[in-house]
Amino acid sequence: MTGQLRHMLRDDDLNHAEQLQVLELGMKFRENRFYRQPFAGPQAVAVLFDKPSTRTRSSFSIGVAELGGYPLVIDKSGSQLGRGEPVADTARVLTRMAYGIVWRTFGQDRVEAMAKYATCPVVNALTDDFHPCQVLADFLTIAQFRGGVKALAGKTIAYVGDAANNMANSYLLAGAVAGMHVRVAGPYGYLPRKDIVDDAERLAAENGGSILVTTDPREAVAGADCVFTDTWVSMGEEAEYAIRSKPFWDYQVNDDLMALAQPDALFQHCLPAYRGKEVTTSVIDGPQSVVWDEAENRLHAQKALLTWLVGQQRGDESLLA
């Protein structure tokens, strides 16, 4: 195979077959933390943060090290990027030294600009619009507990809460790519953008899934195999805290709502969680919750993604499976 530079900027940057490949690779890394070491050398991967992080920071730092590489972690406060150096200039410098660039930032246009000028794979580690690494880990978690990667297509997933945020958007796109039935519920004013719903509907039709966007949390959760929620106030929205809490109370994931899903439905939350707000303690700390496996799966899923991306770039099939 000839090498091809690929990036992961939004969930539909992988097609159905590619998403399956990455998730199968994730299962291999679950079994053997040192399954592949594409960055042996060590080769460096730059991991940049313009927003806070615990899980993404630790899983990429530890993950790159376990892949044989060196994680160069740079925070906004310690970089020229944080002082306004153009993204294009940063991209052209980092790409001369690093073998991959992972970035958590605000606008989606910023990771797109990084990818335009980088000659190594660029990975979106969360933007205002998408969190594709998280959803790969979430799907790996469903695969872990519910019959493997091939059993993902046809499953029904429900996301309830702020349906206009990055997690909702990523479930829509990644679930559509996977051929799942994706249901998203949020209050008026907090529903996903039309262009994202349109893309998800097209992808779902191609892959045998379906999309439902509703203001009724019960309709979304009824019969679901997995229920997801997320904070009502995402990073960067802290000033809206007071006005945001109000519309979401009907969308809290509690025992009554979970009772409408499949009896063995899984509960997932990307974390950090606010108990008593978007989810009750009884659910997140209850028997259906798999949030700690979900958090661990960030490590395995992202190692798989990085390995797959450099495998594509190098034209090395041994890194794709």
Q: Is 14 in the site for ligand CP (CB under 6 A)?
A: no
User: Helix or strand or coil: residue 63?
Assistant: helix
- The closest alpha carbon to 187, from 252, 126, 266, 135, belongs to 252
Which CB atom, from 85 or from 109, has the smaller least distance to ligand NVA?
A: 109
Residue 312's binding partner among ligand CP, ligand NVA, none (Cβ under 5 to 8 angstroms by kind) is none
Q: Is 90 in the site for ligand CP (CB under 6 A)?
A: no
- Helix (H) / strand (E) element for 255: namely helix 255-258
Q: Is 134 in the site for ligand CP (CB under 6 A)?
A: yes
Q: 123, exposed or middle or buried, with CB in 10 Å at 0-12, 13-18, 19+?
A: buried
> Which of 19, 21, 134, 288 is the catalytic position?
134
Residue 230 among the catalytic residues: yes
Long-range Cβ pairs for the range 96-99 (8 Å, 24+) = 97/44, 97/46, 98/43, 98/44, 98/45, 98/46, 98/72, 99/39, 99/43, 99/44, 99/45, 99/69, 99/310
Q: Is 167 in the site for ligand NVA (CB under 6 A)?
A: yes
User: Helix or strand or coil: residue 67?
Assistant: coil
Residue 313 among the catalytic residues: no
Q: Is the dihedral angle over the CA atoms 128, 8, 26, 101 positive or is it negative?
A: negative
Residues 48-67 close enough to bind ligand CP by CB under 6 A: 53-56
Looking from the CA of 279 toward its CB, the CA atoms found within 13 Å total: 25
Residue 292: CB atoms within 10 A of its CB come to 10
Question: Is residue 270 marked as binding?
Answer: yes
Residue 170's binding partner among ligand NVA, ligand CP, none (Cβ under 5 to 8 angstroms by kind) is none
> Which of 50, 138, 270, 313 is the catalytic position?
270
User: Helix or strand or coil: residue 228?
Assistant: strand
Which CB atom, from 48 or from 167, has the smaller least distance to ligand NVA?
A: 167
Residue 96 among the catalytic residues: no
Residue 80's binding partner among ligand NVA, ligand CP, none (Cβ under 5 to 8 angstroms by kind) is none
Q: Is 235 in the site for ligand NVA (CB under 6 A)?
A: yes
Alpha-carbon span 296 to 167, nearest angstrom: 18
Question: Is residue 226 marked as binding?
Answer: no
Residue 54's binding partner among ligand CP, ligand NVA, none (Cβ under 5 to 8 angstroms by kind) is ligand CP
The residue behind tokens 């994680």 is: 71
Q: Is 141 in the site for ligand CP (CB under 6 A)?
A: no
Residue 268 among the catalytic residues: no
Binding site for ligand CP (CB under 6 A): 53-56, 126, 134, 270-271
Catalytic positions: 104, 131, 134, 230, 270, 298
Binding site for ligand NVA (CB under 6 A): 126, 165-167, 230-231, 234-235, 270
